[in-house]
Structure formats: C-alpha cells, structure tokens
Structure 1
Amino acid sequence: MTFSITRRRLLIGSAAGLGTIGLTGCDEVVQNSNVENVLAMAEKLTIGSQRLLVPKHELAREFSEADISPIFKPNGTSQPDSEEYARMMENGFADWRLKIDGLVERPVALSLADLKRLPSRTQITRHDCVEGWSAIGKWTGTPLGALLQSAGLKPGARYAVFHCADQLEQTLDGSGTYYESIDLIDAFHPQTILAYQLNGKDLEVAHGAPLRLRVERHLGYKHAKYLMRIEIKDSFAELWGGKGGFWEDRGYEWYAGI
C-alpha cells in the first residue's frame, strides 16, 4: 500500500533526524508550545488516517524462511545495566516473572515456563529501525490479546504500558527507565505477541531476553525489550513525561504505525 510505504519512510527519516540533533536540541524544539501543539495535532491526524485507511486486523507482511536475514542487529541497548537483571540472567531467568496488573480483574505474575505452556504464534516479519536499517526474523511468542483477555480488562482500560528492566538514564524519579505503550487496538492485533524466541532459539540478552514485545505494524522503538510488567491504564499522562514512552517523552511520535 502506497500510504504505508510513504509513512514508513517519513517516520524513519524524521525520527533519525531527531537523533542527529541530540536530546538537548530535541528538548529545545518541543519546549516551544506552538511547535509542540502542531506536532500533537499532526500525530492525531496520522492516527486517525491510519485507523481509517488500514483495517484494524490487517496483517503486516510475513515472509518465508528463505527471507530471514543472516544478521539481525539488536535494536536499542544490548544489556540492562542493573543488578536485579544481572541476577536473573545468571540463573537463566528462572526467578523472572512478568506482572500484568492495573485495570484488570485478575492480576497475574507469569514465569517464562508459564508463557511457553500457553498457545503461541510464530511469524516471520521485518523489523524497521529508526536508525535506518531493517532485518527479517522469525519470532515466536504468546499473543498479547489472549493474556489480557484472560486477566479481564476493567471498564476504562485503554492502554497497555510496558515497563522494562532497561534504565537508560540514572534518575531519582524513574524517568530514565525504558517503557512503552500501545492502545488496545494494537494490543489485540493478531501479530502483537510477547516473544521469547528469535529464529527458533530463546532470545539472547541483546535481543531482549527473556521476553520482548513484537508489535509488527510499528517502528522498532515500540518493540520494548526486557519486559518486566504490563500495566493496563486509562491514560499515561501521569507517567514521567506523560507522552507514553521513553523516547516519546524526548520528542518521538507516540504512534509509530507503518
């Protein structure tokens, strides 16, 4: 679809541009309230257009085994810099638990073994990074929608917020901890999975072990790695910068659909 291709190029170019000016320059831009308001209006228009033009259950392109990239670069950081994560890594993540809470009827804490016993989905898809590279990989994991349905969503639930083990900045208020969010339309998309395997093997640390998000109709920075908790919320306004994600708080678009 011409719309999707054009948008992908535009988003990759604009996000890469934000990276080249650096976080300080980005902060200077978004502190201008007029610029920030224009960007917010443009993003709402983009979301509305995407939702209107692309059916909510339309699949991202899937590829064959022959298309899998020989090298799949890690996106983001290669290992969380925390003592807690180091301890979990040493024992093969046996003590790791994924918490699902917030606006749910039945909060849960699931081990990696628990997740692997659930129905899974395998998909071969392309990862598009804002740094300008792409790679095709085979991902296996648990469909997110089924987990949320099992937990039972309360009235008012609108967003799934992914809290990660990765802390990119040392801050007292926790704003340096990596997090991401998607709405429930994307959360229940059939290709949105919590992946624990890449190319038939358990995730390596560099690729987000033990669990990462795959939300295939979005750019790479939405695919949160090192998942620790999924919090269901009606808003993310009170979360740190209030924009719904670590990079979004620093100037990236919240909606990164492609």
Structure 2
Amino acid sequence: MPARRRFLRLAAGAALPGVLAGCDRLAGNDELNGMLRKAQFLSQRAQALLTGVDAMAQEFTEDDIADVFRSNGTAMPDSGLYRQLLADGFASWRLRVGGLVAHPAQYSLADLRGMPSRTQITRHDCVEGWSVIGKWTGVPLRQLLLRAGPLPAARYVVFHCADPMDGSDLQAPGSTYYESIDLVEAGHPQTILAYGLNDEPLPVKNGAPLRLRVERQLGYKQAKYLMRIDVVERLDQVRGGKGGYWEDRGYEWYAGI
C-alpha cells in the first residue's frame, strides 16, 4: 500500500509544474475546467480501485509524534463570536447537525466527549509540501450520522466553520471556511471529529474546539473550528458550488493522498 500511495503522489507531482505554469491562462476556460472537475472523480474512483474504499491511512507509534504540531491555515479566527466562545471555554458552543437528516440535533463539547471515541496517530500532509504526525482523539463522524439518520437523497456532508476567510465576521454568510466529503468518506473509521491532540484538549491554532480529521486526504480537507454540519444531496447549490472554500478557488474537491 505505501508503494501505491508513493506512485499516486509521484504521478500527481509529475503533472503539477505544467498545470501551475498555465493556470492563469486557462483559469477562464469553462470547458477545460469542467473536464478537470470530472477528472478528479476519475482519480477518486481509481484510488478506490487500487486501495479499496475501506483502506486505512497509515498509523504511527507514540515515538513518531512530533514535538510541535504546526498550524495549517488560520491560527486564530478573526471573529467576535469565536472569541466569545473561547472566553467561556466553549461551554456555550454547540455543533449543529442538520440538512437531509431525520433527526437534527445540537451537541455540546461535553456531549461529544461523552460518546465512544477513537484515538489515532496519523500524518497530516499539507498541500504546501510539509507533513507532521500527531495523535488525535475524537468522535467517529459515522456515529453522529447514525444518530441523525441521513435521508435517502443524502450524498455529501458539508462542514461550516468559525473561520472568516475574507476579512469579514460570521455575520457575512459565505465568507467563512467550509469543506465537504461524500458519505463513503464520512463513514470511514478514521474520519473523526477531533477534540483532542496529543492527549490534550485541541489547541486553538489546531482548530478548537472541534475539527475534522479525514486521514486519507490532504490538509485543506481537515476543516477546523467546526460550527455546523449539513447533510446534502448536491454540492453545486452550496456556496460557490465546488464543495469547499479552496475548491471554489480552483483546488480539487477530492484531495486523496
């Protein structure tokens, strides 16, 4: 399996310089962009055939854990609401779960910590080229989905965050970070909502109070500062229509490692 993953990374890396060189010229080509969006789903299916839909990301030992788990992206959301939640130790924070579900719900941090948990030592691979190993503890996402009861039309899970990305606060819908995965990835045993890092409460710079860990994909898929989870049928009707903040700006929706 490691050899297969190295092959996939090398194949992606071989194509990257050419893509970057022409990105400005081709960004406005709707036909080409449509072809690229379709190609990423072919990549997803190809990886599933090579590794299997239930394949596990590599896990490591305590000796492999980095002394410092660096922050990817935002280290402190520039949000008045987030600062209020942080000031009371997230006692008033609630994770809302809704959308195409039979049983919408809200969960406090204490609620989540009281549920059966999973701990895993995995490597975070950033699209910027760095990696770091950490120990994550949290609730398997599939547990919350089973409680919620996705309706028959459900296909994707969308994660909304308390992280303003465009210089505006949470009062401006559409400015905050968001991400999405399909229900297959959401049901994977290593896909967890993490509230702990290296046997300590999740630090602010790493996404407190709760972040997504979807270990078979790159770092920008690991949404931090979670506020709301919506189960949906389609992604083209959510925000920019591509399934994530960076995807709306040209990144691939499927970011498999």
Q: Distance in 2 between matches of 1:11 and 1:74?
A: 24
The residue type paired with residue 40 of structure 1 is R
SS of 1:213 mapped into structure 2:
strand
Residue number in structure 2 paired with 1:194: 193
Is the 1:140–1:197 Cα contact (8 Å) retained in structure 2?
A: yes
Give 1:7 shift: 2.5
Tell me the residue number matched to 1:89. Answer: 86
Q: How many equivalent residue pairs? A: 254
Tell me the secondary structure at the aligned position of residue 181 of structure 2.
strand
Q: 1:93 to 1:50 in 2, by over 3 A?
A: same
Equivalent residue, structure 2, for 1:159: 156
The alpha-carbon distance between structure 1 residues 17 and 75, as it changes in their structure 2 partners (threshold 3 A), is farther
- Which structure 2 residue ranges, 5 or more long, are not aligned? none
1:146 partnered with 2:143 = yes
**Measured at CA, do residues 202 and 53 of structure 1 come closer, stay the same or move farther in structure 2, by a change above 3 Å?**
same
CA distance in 1, matches of 2:247, 2:204: 24
Q: Measure, in 2, the Cα distance between the counterparts of 1:31 and 1:173.
A: 27
Q: 1:109 to 1:13 in 2, by over 3 A?
A: farther
Question: What percentage of aligned pairs have identical amino acids?
Answer: 55
Per mean C-alpha deviation after superposition, the further-off stretch among 202-211 and 41-50 is: 41-50
Aligned alpha-carbon RMSD (Å)? 2.2
State the TM-score, normalizing by the size of structure 1: 0.92
In the TM superposition, residue 83 of structure 1 has moved relative to its aligned partner by 0.5
Residue 68 (structure 2) aligns with: 71
TM-score normalised by structure 2 residue count = 0.92
SS state of the match for residue 241, structure 1? coil
Report the AA paired with residue 178 of structure 2: Y
CA separation in 2, counterparts of 1:77 and 1:141?
Answer: 21
**Uncovered stretches (5+) of structure 1, i.e. residues with no partner:** none
Q: For residue 17 of structure 1, report the CA deviation from its aligned partner.
A: 9.1
Q: Does 217-226 or 236-245 show the bigger shift?
A: 236-245
Q: Distance in 2 between matches of 1:199 and 1:42?
A: 37
Distance 1:7 1:121, change over 3 A: same
Distance 1:89 1:44, change over 3 A: same
SS at match of 1:76: coil
How far, CA to CA, are the matches of 1:81 and 1:229 in structure 2? 18
C-alpha distance in structure 2 between counterparts of 1:155 and 1:144, whole Å: 18
Cα displacement (A) at 1:12: 6.9
Q: Deviations over 1:47-79 (max 9, x none)?
A: 111122222111111100001011211011101
Contact 1:121 1:140 in 2 (8 A): yes
Distance 1:69-1:186 versus aligned 2 partners, 3 A rule: same
Q: Which of 26, 34, 39 pairs up with 2:36?
A: 39
Which residue is 1:58 aligned to?
55
Change (3 A) 1:28 1:130: same
| Contact 1:167-1:177 at 8 Å conserved across structures | yes
Determine whether 1:238 maps to 2:237: yes
